[in-house]
Amino acid sequence: MIGKLIKYEFKHTSKTMFTTWIVLAAATLMGSLALYRLDQGNHSDTTFSVVMNVIMLVLYIIALIGIFYVDFIYLCYHYYKTMYSSQGYLTHTLPLSPAAAFSVKIFAFFIWMLASSVLLVISVLVLLNVGSGGEFFSTISTFMWDEFIQSVNELFGISAPFLIFIFIADTFLGILWRILWVTTSMAIGQLFQSGRTGFSILAGFCIYMVNQVVNTILLAASGYNLTAFLDGMPENLIRQILGGSMIISAVMLIALYGICVYINKKRLNLE
């Protein structure tokens, strides 16, 4: 049953998501072309063509940022519509536990946003490659990679694979955090009889503040200060901050997930 719901969840959202990705591909093509022409610029180029290429690059950057937000907002809207609006009547009367229905929606949301993020990174890499005359990947794979490993070791006292692991884990946690932040805010908002949008926004603000306060307390408790940073932090301190930050994020995610499941199971309010 959960497998079927996953299938339908992806099916119902795929059309819009694929459309935004086609727009991203078109924007990448446009940006690459503009960058290539600027890179190959010769004296015969008119001011008009240079300006046009710059405009195309600016449009590419706007599209890059815009598509990420469009995808996120669309998935938030889809989630709200199928959980707390008219289509919620269907979702919540399927023979599934509230936790299962919620988890499937979060899973699909996460996978779509992860895929969008990966495609955005690929798009930027394509542009960098065009900008470097097609030598970006070959440079990265030899000289820069070795230098990167050495620099990470010297600057932070940690290995490059560890830093990459932290980066990937942080990306995953960051996407999940944003999703659960929004869904928990919506779940809290729907508990109220009126002004649900306002209460959702207020709940979102409160959750954000709690997260900030917890992270600040953690950072202070770990002994972080600006002087220590400028003097070069000892290896174990960096590990503590990175590891501690991830643990706190994971605890916050579990708490938000628990709140959502509890509300959908015990306090559902589809008036």
Partner 1 sequence: MNTLVTCKELTKTYGSKTALNHVSFEIESGHIIGLLGPNGSGKTTFIKLLNGLLTPTSGELYVKKLPVGIESKKIISYLPDQTYLNMNNTVKEVLDYFHAFYADFDMERACQMLDSLHISPKDRLKAMSKGTKEKVQLILVMSRRAELYVLDEPIAGVDPAARDYILQTILTNYDPDASILISTHLISDIENILDQVIFIKEGEIFLQASVDDIRMQHQKSIDALFREVFK
| Interacting residues with partner 1 (CB under 8 A) | 1, 4-5, 8, 12, 86-90, 92-97, 193, 266-271
Closest CB to partner 1 among 11 and 138? 11
Q: How far is the CB of 100 from partner 1 (least distance, A)?
A: 9
Q: How far is the CB of 116 from partner 1 (least distance, A)?
A: 21
Q: How far is the CB of 197 from partner 1 (least distance, A)?
A: 18
Instruction: Note every long-range contact of 62-66, with CB atoms under 8 Å and residues 24 or more positions apart, other chains counting.
Output: 63/23, 63/24, 63/27, 64/24, 64/27, 64/120, 64/123, 64/124
Closest CB to partner 1 among 8 and 205? 8
Say how far apart CA 224 and CA 232 lie, in whole Å.
11
Closest CB to partner 1 among 2 and 73? 2
Say how far apart CA 54 and CA 35 lie, in whole Å.
8
Q: At what angle do helices 160-189 and 235-266 cross, to 10 degrees?
A: 30
Closest CB to partner 1 among 191 and 214? 191
Amino acid at 182: V
Closest CB to partner 1 among 54 and 270? 270
| Whether 122 contacts 137, CB under 8 Å | no
Closest CB to partner 1 among 5 and 57? 5
Q: How far is the CB of 5 from partner 1 (least distance, A)?
A: 8
Q: How far is the CB of 185 from partner 1 (least distance, A)?
A: 20
Q: How far is CA 2 from CA 6, 9, 77, 101, 112, in A?
A: 6, 10, 22, 8, 18
> CB neighbours of 262 closer than 8 A, spacing ≥ 6?
none
Say how far apart CA 80 and CA 88 lie, in whole Å.
8
Q: How far is the CB of 12 from partner 1 (least distance, A)?
A: 7
